[in-house]
Amino acid sequence: MNSFGRLFRLNIFGESHGELIGITLDGVPPGIPLTLNDFKTDIERRKPTQKGTTARTEDDMPEIVSGVFKDYTTGAPLTILFKNKNVRSDDYSEIAQFFRPGHTDFVAYKKYKGFNDVRGGGHFSGRLTLVLVAAGVVAKKIIKPIAITTKIVEVGGSSDIETAISRALEQNDSVGGVVECVAENMPISLGEPFFDSLESLLAHAVFAIPAIKGIEFGSGFELARMYGSEANDVFIDRQGHTLTNHSGGIHGGISNGNPLVFRVAVKPTSSIGVAQKTFHFKNEQMESVLIQGRHDACIALRVPVVLEAVTACVLADALLMTKAYDSNNAQD
Amino acid sequence: MNSFGRLFRLNIFGESHGELIGITLDGVPPGIPLTLNDFKTDIERRKPTQKGTTARTEDDMPEIVSGVFKDYTTGAPLTILFKNKNVRSDDYSEIAQFFRPGHTDFVAYKKYKGFNDVRGGGHFSGRLTLVLVAAGVVAKKIIKPIAITTKIVEVGGSSDIETAISRALEQNDSVGGVVECVAENMPISLGEPFFDSLESLLAHAVFAIPAIKGIEFGSGFELARMYGSEANDVFIDRQGHTLTNHSGGIHGGISNGNPLVFRVAVKPTSSIGVAQKTFHFKNEQMESVLIQGRHDACIALRVPVVLEAVTACVLADALLMTKAYDSNNAQD
Amino acid sequence: MNSFGRLFRLNIFGESHGELIGITLDGVPPGIPLTLNDFKTDIERRKPTQKGTTARTEDDMPEIVSGVFKDYTTGAPLTILFKNKNVRSDDYSEIAQFFRPGHTDFVAYKKYKGFNDVRGGGHFSGRLTLVLVAAGVVAKKIIKPIAITTKIVEVGGSSDIETAISRALEQNDSVGGVVECVAENMPISLGEPFFDSLESLLAHAVFAIPAIKGIEFGSGFELARMYGSEANDVFIDRQGHTLTNHSGGIHGGISNGNPLVFRVAVKPTSSIGVAQKTFHFKNEQMESVLIQGRHDACIALRVPVVLEAVTACVLADALLMTKAYDSNNAQD
Amino acid sequence: MNSFGRLFRLNIFGESHGELIGITLDGVPPGIPLTLNDFKTDIERRKPTQKGTTARTEDDMPEIVSGVFKDYTTGAPLTILFKNKNVRSDDYSEIAQFFRPGHTDFVAYKKYKGFNDVRGGGHFSGRLTLVLVAAGVVAKKIIKPIAITTKIVEVGGSSDIETAISRALEQNDSVGGVVECVAENMPISLGEPFFDSLESLLAHAVFAIPAIKGIEFGSGFELARMYGSEANDVFIDRQGHTLTNHSGGIHGGISNGNPLVFRVAVKPTSSIGVAQKTFHFKNEQMESVLIQGRHDACIALRVPVVLEAVTACVLADALLMTKAYDSNNAQD
């Protein structure tokens, strides 16, 4: 089921090597100015221009096919498409012979009983993060003045990111990383107690990004090592500002007005340029395989703009939820 | 919005010091044997009998008030209630004067405009994890033969758990911890690509447990420090078993049949027995306050059975989803 | 799945002869004054005091067990329980021998594989409409100043309602009826195009009321017999008031500010005091059976207050939805 | 919010005069054979070839852009697009001066604060029923061997349909009608008690079709005129077959294995070729207006294939739900 959100709702579709990929946004308020220009920056940021990412040459031009009229959102479902121009005509028959380590080949084959689109990972492809980025562009307009920033804080366990990537590249290997996300100008009240805690909603969306295997809010796992007297964030004024922000701006699942802070762990790209062992079905034994094709040395480099996007989508949804109950409904 | 799940659906209600707390389970298949006896073990496990937890003397006897007939589930909504016998008649007027550091007082006051039930944390109380445990008892029956176990792997940064807790107790302080959850006998195919990835669903549910601030699957944050050649789990047979399990049993958001493994970070209890600073509204300045009342020195000690419970609920839901599509629907 | 609504959400539970029946309302805005007194009028209106309904002696006293603090809603899930005091200890073994015509015995047995609670219809019982009435009391406060009224417009095809019921009573038979619902002071904009049209939402909720087999909005089935020149409602002012109201206050699925008007068809009570034929399993042939126990001669008499209630719930949900998008979200 | 369904989920998008309209189906089981050929018959049936409908010349060729691989469904979201070739470049400035009687102009303007796409009804257009028909093609494959048929039973109050339409055409007027839907080979158990009763789900979907203003199941409004002794369907065998089918194959919200039968009331097309009065904003008075453009004399003629489609979608969803709980989950 490929949808997410209650009031700002994302529905994604498409496969890596199909005709196109797309997203439908349901619940976009009417009257938001939106043109193709708005997408440029974020789409560029996702592109593989950095060292450590590789070139799939795509124009990645969005087409808005519904929900916008005369450069304003209409309130109707907003659909954005991206054509897949660079469709490889590879031979995928090998896939029937062994499953690539770390890849989705195996689970996709099992779950969909062999009917899944095997070309380039099909619907599981990281290419679909492109439509998440597009959704983020719209969401960011809804959540203003909340401002989200992300940065890569660690690659291969080191903060010297360039060096760590170079080392992986030299070995035809890949390497993991940690990305931090911060949202400033946060309103108080986003999120709900228990099941729709802001942490629950953010984590739900964040784990939709391929390759993410961990998330921590505020001081996260470090909190597990602290005393309460260290961990408690002290309120310093009537507005709820705190001296420290170990909680990452969330108390009891609700945003407390301090900056939202969280970090995610990104695993190394599964596709690597070195031989790996795996079970070969036909030969019925372990064999060494070298998987062809380009790969990103560090998929974490592409995560920041995607992470911003899903964060913006979650905050937009939570914000609309808050507005629903905020008005003065109480009457006798 | 206090509900969770698509086909096995939880709805919780109640406040710490209200008349009762409860949960309604929607989507329980008919014909599952269920008696009050089934709840005993898990409810006992949640109780504060260990050093480092404190005694709120509650019988915690579940009452099944709907959905069970002649000791079998009927398929109708299954509601379980727990009376709150030990209702304190404390004076909560102090709460209007300052917000306790690390507590939900502030956000609850803001979000609900002062109408929230302030007694003992109201609906935000950790007491509501009791109904999650009850839900877990039912869910565990649905997911058989999947078997979930949990253990505390770290307290205050140390694996010597007893010592770490003693040290916190001596200081009237609290301390955080890390809890690990493992599910064996996992079927292949649970979870969906992208928004309903198994990681997304589990993280969503896990962050509904108060005090949890981080989650990592498989090798988690350690993966961010690895090379792809180390991180990739090598398939060793036709059934998809892997040599290592860095992915924690999930590839592309889908269970791969290997054990599901994840860890959560639990922050220290916010309530501590030492003086803390906070902003005092009436006096309009920072003041030192000592908050009365018992507290758990290490709330992480209570997390394992709750973590098992929400994990069982997520797996039950995912399993029912899989059954829906599993049957031979394909026809021409 | 026994829940309904997106932002004002109902979850019902309980069986006719279980310990209690109840409802949890999720999404009630905080700060609404609410006491047990508020429920009296509507609960009384549902009671079988009229000729044509029969006495199940129940106090029907609601207990609010969560979500209200100091007589105001808190914003947390609001649960209302009704104890079932008048639990019959009938022998239900007969049910295994034949299925009562018009009753849910058969489908319940099949759907739940014999595990359903057979006592008094179990979860299918009309008694659960009591919790809908309770939900309606809360919803009516949210939707003010919208005012909903209902009336029985026809019983047994006649507008002389008393006579029609007397005739049915004389024959130990039951009879159907038509109930009309009107909501005045409607805001413009409730409902969505297509799947969440106001007609869709209302019909969805209305068909949750047992015994309802038809619904028509505005002139309804009469519209199918009209020309467009007759059917089109002519706008007479800038505010969208119309000369006629054949559309029942809904255009394109959206409320247009004119009164919401719809009618429902209520079938005769299935339980009647005359012998009926049905297939007897043990004897493997058609047999004449006389089903014991009291019955309402005209269940339609109880429908008005229930119909008001579900209508109020749908409007409350739609109103909260509208508020979410109404604020000035549009920014560049 | 333009989505519907729990396990077989429809998301529609597009505007009458935008670039394209489309639908994403989530929850399509993998392995269903599907080619463009499968859509031909139903798309043809919706076309305006009959007397009483008018020609918008569209090829209406579906494009399947995701979710199908090598002519089988993959289990991933299935998106079908229809290009809008025949885009009129009309002047819509008139719309700002008055609202057309019976049309969505007014509510769309109010709900979306003037940002709605006004061209040809925008997202409210009946053209979007085309994507519902496409969804129905897929749904019909899932629900086999259930077979759905529809027929027009009445136009303008008469069963002589041709004559009634001719009469409307002669007057440049439009006329309403009644359409009946029957599903044979129904399994027992579809639907849930209360909120997801089969009547609730079907009515919800059916009222998503523009111009439908009433629905009745089985004998519907006629039941309101009957005695219980007439209305009760007598069981005649162990399989639950009944002598009569006044309930339309649904008892207590659950399908009982007898044919599903319901009828819908379709109002006359709002666009007519005769002058109508409406309030003119600029002139601030009632004025007579003649609205240009082609129109269907009887929109009911186009409803049957759309009604079949949404019925198939609801049944597919209900069937998948049933499969989820059907398996032998009960274990101790």
pLDDT reported for residue A292: 78
pLDDT digits (tens, 9 = 90+) for B100-130: 999 999 999 999 999 999 888 899 999 999 9
Region of poorest pLDDT, from A13-27, D21-35, D62-76, D289-303: D289-303
- Best of D54, D230, D235, D282 to substitute, by most chain C Cβ atoms within 10 angstroms, is D235
Q: Exposure pattern of B82-100 as b/e (b: 16+ CB <10 Å)? A: bbbeeeeeeeeeebeebbb
Tens of pLDDT, residues D46-82: 986 666 666 555 689 999 999 999 999 999 999 999 9
Give the contacts of B39 (CB within 8 A, at least 6 positions apart). Answer: B62, B133, B134, B137
pLDDT tops 80 at residue D91: no
Residue B64: phi and psi, rounded to 5, are: -90, 110
Measured in angstroms, the CA of A160 and the nearest CA of chain D are apart by: 40
Q: Give the pLDDT score at A325.
A: 93
- Which residues in D lie closer than 8 A to residue B331 (C-beta atoms)? 32, 141, 144
pLDDT above 70 covers a percentage of chain B that reads 92
C233: amino acid identity, one letter = D
Task: Compute the distance between CA of residue B277 and CA of residue B290 in angstroms, rounded to an integer.
Answer: 9
Task: State whether D13 and A123 contact (CB < 8 Å).
Answer: no
Q: Which chains touch A (3 or more CB pairs under 8 A)?
A: B, C, D
Comparing C-alpha atoms, which of C21, C20, B252 is closest to residue A111? B252
Among candidates C101, C212, C219 on the partner chain, residue whose Cβ is nearest the Cβ of D232: C101
SS3 of A129-180: the string is HHHHHHHHHHHHHHHCCCEEEEEEEEECCECCHHHHHHHHHHCCCCECEEEE
Amino acid C332: pLDDT: 35
Whole-number mean pLDDT of chain A?
Answer: 92
CB contact under 8 A, D7 and B321: yes
Find the CB nearest D188 among C107, C216, C279: C107
Is pLDDT of A56 > 50?
yes
The amino acid at C22: G
Q: What secondary structure, in 3-state letters, does chain D show?
A: CCEECCCCEEEEEECCCCCEEEEEEECCCCCCECCHHHHHHHHHHHCCCCECECCCCCCCCCEEEECEECCEECCCCEEEEEECCCCCCCCCHHHHCECCCCCCHHHHHHHCCCCCCCHHHHHHCHHHHHHHHHHHHHHHHHHCCCEEEEEEEEECCECCHHHHHHHHHHCCCCECEEEEEEEECCCECCCCCHHHCHHHHHHHHHCCCCCEEEEEECCHHHHHHCEHHHHCCCECCCCCCECCCCCCCEECCEEECCCEEEEEEECCCCCCCCCEEEEECCCCEEEEECCCCCCCCCHHHHHHHHHHHHHHHHHHHHHHHHHHHHCCCCCC
Hey, of D144, D329, D331, D332, which one would you mutate to test binding to chain B, going by the most B CBs within 10 A of its CB? D329
Among the listed residues B128, B175, B129, B155, the one whose alpha carbon sits nearest the alpha carbon of residue B272: B175
- Which range, of B278-287, D3-12, D21-30, averages the lowest pLDDT? B278-287
> Of all helices (H) and strands (E), which one includes residue C153?
strand C147-155
Report CB contact under 8 Å: A329, C33: no
What does the block give as tokens for C269? 């009570």
Which pLDDT value is given to residue D310? 98
- Is D20 at the interface with chain A, CB within 8 A? yes
Q: In this structure, what token pair is assigned to residue C47?
A: 């009671």
Q: Where are the beta strands (DSSP E) in chain B?
A: 3-4, 9-14, 20-26, 63-66, 68-69, 72-73, 78-83, 147-155, 177-184, 212-217, 250-251, 254-255, 260-266, 276-280, 285-289
Flag if B216 and A219 touch (Cβ within 8 Å): no
A61 contact D CB<8A: no
Res C54: pLDDT = 63
How far is CA D76 from each of CA B161, B234, D30, D221, D252, rounded to the nearest angstrom? Answer: 46, 26, 8, 42, 34
Place D90 in a pLDDT band, splitting at 50, 70 and 90. Answer: low
Partner B contacted by C11 (CB < 8 A): yes
Contact A313, C317 (CB under 8 A): no
Cα separation of A131 and A82, whole Å?
Answer: 8
Q: What is the mean pLDDT of residues C167-195?
A: 97
Choose, out of D128, D195, D329, D331, the residue to mutate when testing the contact with C (most C CBs < 10 Å): D195
Q: Which residues pair with A98 in a beta bridge?
A: A280
Rounded to a whole number, what is the largest CA-CA distance in chain C?
76
Whether pLDDT at B199 is above 70? yes
Closest Cα in chain C to A330 = C32
> Would an 8 Å CB–CB cutoff place D259 in contact with chain C?
no
Say how far apart CA D237 and CA C94 lie, in whole Å: 17
CA dihedral B296, B299, B302, B303 (to 10 degrees): 170
Q: By the 8 A CB rule, do A58 and A84 touch?
A: yes
User: Which residues, in sequence order, are CB contacts of C35 under 8 Å at separation 6+?
Assistant: C71
Q: Flag whether residue B181 sits within 8 Å of chain D, measured between CB atoms.
A: no
Decide if A12 contacts A323 (C-beta within 8 A). no
pLDDT tens, D184-238? 999 999 999 999 999 999 999 999 999 999 999 999 999 999 999 999 999 999 9
CA closest to B76 among chain D residues: D193
Checking if the pLDDT of D15 tops 60, the result is yes
Rg (chain C; Cα; Å): 21
When pLDDT is averaged across residues C43-54 and rounded to a whole number, the result is 76
Q: Closest to D117 (Cβ–Cβ): which among A76, A116, A122?
A: A76
Identify the residue among B118, B153, B159, B229 best suited for mutation to test binding to A, counting A beta carbons within 10 A and taking the highest.
B229
Whether residue B176 and residue A2 make contact (CB cut-off 8 A), yes or no, is no
Chains that touch B (3 or more CB pairs under 8 A): A, C, D
- Ramachandran category for residue B211: left, alpha or beta (phi over 0 → left; psi -120 to 50 → alpha): left
Radius of gyration of the CA atoms of chain B, in A: 21
Q: What are the pLDDT digits (tens) for A156-198?
A: 999 999 999 999 999 999 999 999 999 999 999 999 999 999 9
CB B179 within 8 A of CB B267: no
Q: Is C220 within 8 Å of D265 when comparing Cβ atoms?
A: yes
Looking at per-residue pLDDT, the higher value among A57 and A114 belongs to A114
R_g of chain A computed on alpha carbons: 21
Residues in chain C within 8 Å Cβ distance of A73: 330
Query: Most B CBs within 10 Å: which of A173, A251, A264, A321, as the mutation test of the B interface?
Result: A251
Give the per-residue pLDDT at D326.
85
Residue A331, pLDDT > 60, answer no
Chain D residues lying within 8 Å of C196, measured CB to CB: 1-2
Contacts of B174 in chain A (CB under 8 A): 227-229
Of A33-37, A170-174, A327-331, C177-181, the range with the lowest mean pLDDT is A327-331
Decide: C92 and B69 in contact? Cβ < 8 Å.
no
Mean pLDDT, all residues of chain D = 92
Does B315 contact C at CB distance below 8 Å?
no
pLDDT category at B331 given cuts 50, 70, 90 is: very low
Closest CB to A221: pick one of B111, B240, B265.
B265
Beta carbons of D119 and D90 less than 8 angstroms apart: yes
Residue D117's pLDDT is 93
B153 close to A (CB below 8 A)? no
- Interface membership of C94 toward B (CB under 8 Å): no
- E strand or H helix that includes residue C315: helix C303-326
Q: Which subunits sit against C, judged by 3+ Cβ pairs under 8 A?
A: A, B, D
Quick one: closest CA in D to C256, which residue? Answer: D107
A106 contacts B251 by C-beta, under 8 angstroms = yes
**Is residue A95 exposed (0-12), middle (13-18) or buried (19+ Cβ within 10 Å)?**
middle
A194:B12 CB<8 A: yes
What is the structure's pLDDT at A330? 41
- DSSP-assigned letters across all residues of B292-320: -S---S-GGGGHHHHHHHHHHHHHHHHHH
* Spatial CB neighbours of D4, under 8 Å, sequence gap ≥ 6: C195, D10, D204, D205, D208, D313
Nearest residue of chain B to residue D320 (CA atoms): B324
